[in-house]
Structure 1
Amino acid sequence: MESIISQSYEVHFGELAKAALKQHIAKSNYSKVFVLVDENTKKNCLPFFRNEILDYPVDSIFEIESGENNKNIGTCVKVWELLSNQDGDRKSLLINLGGGVLTDLGGFVASTFKRGIDFINIPTTLLSIVDASVGGKTGVDLGVLKNQIGVINQPVMVLVFTEFLKTLEPRQLVSGYAEMLKHGLISDKAYWDRLKEVNRFTDAEEIQKSIAIKNEVVLQDPTEKGLRKILNFGHTLGHAIESYCLDNPEKKTLLHGEAIAVGMILEGYLSHELKGLSRLSLEEIKTTFLEYFEFVDFTENDVDAILKLLKFDKKNTHGDVNFVLLQSIGEAVSDVKVPDELFQKAFAYYKEQ
């Protein structure tokens, strides 16, 4: 499978990924090679990584706790201290072996340790492969507020091994599928049509296509000044929902893809009201996501609390909440202001059975 060329690095797959890693380490003369894992990837992915991928001695393996609730500065401090205690210097390499939480955090740690060391991302979940693998976004949450602290900084390379998908429970695969479906909604109707008709969670060609769609957007707008904003479709309300459920013990904690699936239905409704998305397309979006994702029940109090979180969204400017909406399936527009009265209507539409 051909590699995908991004800004200053490449995304490699399978055997090409193994060869690229071996060649890079052989020529780079790193003083130390560190690997960052969590308890899940240590058990399920590290043995394969060490036996089948990395033909080089590792100086230290650092383990952090998995989960969005551990994606914070406190965890970063622990990893910075581990790097320092193990004599990490500016010629060290950090390999991030894990899902999006780990690669986001590991990339941020590497980008700020000694003012920046090299890092390589090896995403191990479907979500991290199709989303976090491209774009250079690194960072952590501030309390329950998603990705408030971070920098855009590119890895040396990204290595994709679909073998890791075999270690995932179905819920994690479906979560990643939400981002693949999103890529179709914002820029490629034919891709959306293929994905919604057939379960293609682990189809290597479709995974590569999803990465390529995101990469095309990022290449045109690396620092999210314009076009790249379309990648946030479903995320404005979706992130608020994810944060609210994470902080509310009475609500089931949602995976990222589960939250943005709800967000895409809600923002699909806003698209119908404000940008001319057809009613037929709106129903198609709702039906598709509810086929794969469990319905989430929101009370009036839940909705009020979720809407209050919108003020913390990263895309906001001058006090305005900015949305990405769809004019049609495959065509998105950004920086849309939404009248307050439509939010309640959007949730009411989501609740309609």
Structure 2
Amino acid sequence: MNSITTATYSVHFNENAYLALNDHLANSNYSKIFVLVDENTHNCCLPVFMSHIEGEYDFEIIEIEAGEIHKNIATCTQVWEVLSELDADRKSAMINLGGGVVTDLGGFVASCFKRGIEFINIPTTLLSMVDASVGGKTGVDLGPLKNQVGVINQPQMVLVATEFLKTLDQRQLQSGYAEMLKHGLISDASYWDTLKEITGFEKLDKLIYTSVSIKNEVVQIDPTEQHLRKTLNYGHTLGHAIESHFLESEEHDLLLHGEAIAIGMILEGFLSYKLTGLSKNELEDIKKTFLARYPKTSFTKKDIDMILTLLKFDKKNSHGNINFVLLKSIGKTAIDIKVTPELLKESFSYYAE
């Protein structure tokens, strides 16, 4: 499987991944190499990673607590303090071995430490392989508000080793699959048709490659999210607000990112039907596909009001306007669409039907 080249680095897959990494480490003369893991990847992924390393390196392992609730400045501060205590300098490097929390937070930590040290991302979840592997977005949450603090900064390379998917349960795989379904909805109707027919997760390599390629094509055209890159946020305006609400609510269990985004894609599909020309048949196709894979969630009026209040923190907003990415049809998008509060509430009614 050929590597995918972005503007500044390459995404390497499976057998090519460790060949590229070992070559890079042998030629980089890093003063120190730090490997950032969480509790899960420390146990399940680090031994596999280490078994592929050729040469003698004095790796320092830094472990953070697992989960979105720890993706915050407090955790960054802890990691920065450890880096300082272990005498990291500007010629040090960080390898982020984990899901989206580890790669987002680790990239941000590396980008800020001593005004920037090099980092390498090794995503270990399906979600992070198809989403965080391309684009250079790093950052952390501000309380329950998703990704409010961060920078766009590119890694030296990204390694996608699908052997790590064996460490995931079905729920985590489904969460990542939501982002792949999104790639079909925003850019390729035939890819959407292929994905919605997949029933298992045994052979995902080619599909992962396709999703990474789709995201890379978008980011190459619009690296700083001025226009086309906004399309990658389809389902995320409401989805992130739902995820944030469930993150801080004591009345609900946490939703995984993909689970919240799946709901967001149904809701924003309804908005697309009302505002940008998505057909009724395509809307029903979207709803049927997601509800077949993701458990239906109940929302009270209080939940909906609080979710809609959180929309004001969405990063696509400008000049006080909440901007949505919607679908003209499956595979074609419209950006910066304004939606009335009444229609937003109507979308939740449609979801509940």
**TM-score with structure 2 setting the length:** 0.99
- How far apart are the structure 2 equivalents of 1:104 and 1:206? 23
- Partner residue in 2 for 1:182: 182
Give the CA deviation at 1:200. 5.3
> What are the equivalent positions in structure 2 for 1:1-353 lying under 5 Å apart?
1-53=1-53, 55-199=55-199, 201=201, 202-352=203-353
SS of residue matched to 1:96: strand
Q: CA deviation at 1:249?
A: 1.1
Q: Distance in 2 between matches of 1:173 and 1:76?
A: 27
Give, in whole Å, the separation in 2 of the partners of 1:76 and 1:206: 33
Gaps of 5+ in 2: none
Supply the distance in 2 between the matched residues of 1:60 and 1:134 (Cα, whole angstroms).
26
> Structure 2: how far apart are the matches of 1:123 and 1:269?
32
| CA–CA separation in structure 2 for the residues paired with 1:296 and 1:139 | 28
SS at match of 2:289: helix
Find the residue that maps to 2:52 and give its secondary structure: helix
Local SS of the residue matching 1:295: coil
Q: Which amino acid aligns with 1:150?
A: G
Q: Is the 8 A contact 1:35 1:58 kept in 2?
A: no
Measured in 2, the distance between the counterparts of 1:200 and 1:135 equals 28
- Deviation of 1:56 after TM superposition, in Å, equals 3.9
Give the secondary-structure state (helix, strand or coil) at the position aligned to 2:250: coil
Corresponding letter in the other structure for 1:268: G
Q: Distance in 2 between matches of 1:93 and 1:224?
A: 27
One-letter identity of the residue aligned with 1:286: K
Is the 8 Å Cα contact of residues 200 and 206 (structure 1) preserved in structure 2? no
**Counterparts of 2:87 and 2:162 in 1: how far apart (Å)?**
33
- Indicate conservation of the 8 Å contact 1:325/1:334, yes or no: yes
3-state secondary structure, aligned to 1:8 = coil
Q: Which amino acid is the alignment partner of residue 151 of structure 1?
A: V
Deviations 1:109-143 (A, max 9, x none): 00000000000000000000000000000000000
Per-residue CA deviation, residues 55-111 of structure 1 (Å, 9 max, x unaligned), is 442331000001010000000000001111111000001000000011000000000
Measure the CA separation in 1 of the matches of 2:122 and 2:69: 21
Alpha-carbon distance, 1:53 to partner:
4.1
Write the letter of the residue equivalent to 1:211. V
Deviation at 1:199, TM superposition (A): 2.5
298 and 266 in structure 1: CA distance in 2 versus 1, 3 angstrom threshold: same
- TM-superposed CA distance for 1:339, in Å, is 1.4
How far is 1:344 from its partner?
A: 1.0
Contact kept in structure 2, 1:35 and 1:60, CA below 8 Å: yes
| SS at structure 1 position matched to 2:112 | helix
Moved more, 55-64 or 126-135: 55-64
Give the letter aligned to residue 326 of structure 1. Answer: L
Tell whether the 8 Å contact from 1:324 to 1:333 is kept in structure 2 after alignment. Answer: yes
Q: CA RMSD in A?
A: 0.8
Letter in 1 for 2:78: K
Shift of 1:15: 1.3
The list of structure 1 runs, each at least 4 consecutive aligned residues, that deviate by more than 3 angstroms after superposition, is 53-56
**One-letter amino acid of the structure 1 residue matched with residue 253 of structure 2:** K
Superposition deviation, residue 52 in structure 1: 2.3
Where structure 1 has 5 or more consecutive residues not aligned to the other structure, the ranges are none
Identity %: 66
Contact 1:18 1:54 in 2 (8 A): no
CA distance in 2, matches of 1:88, 1:239: 35
Question: Do the aligned residues in 2 keep the contact of 1:111 with 1:153 (CA within 8 Å)?
Answer: yes
Q: Secondary structure at the match of 1:84?
A: helix
Which string of whole-angstrom CA distances, capped at 9 and with x for unpartnered residues, describes residues 30-71 of structure 1?
000110000000000000000124544233100000101000
- Conserved 8 A contact 1:97-1:103: yes
Report the AA paired with residue 64 of structure 1.
I
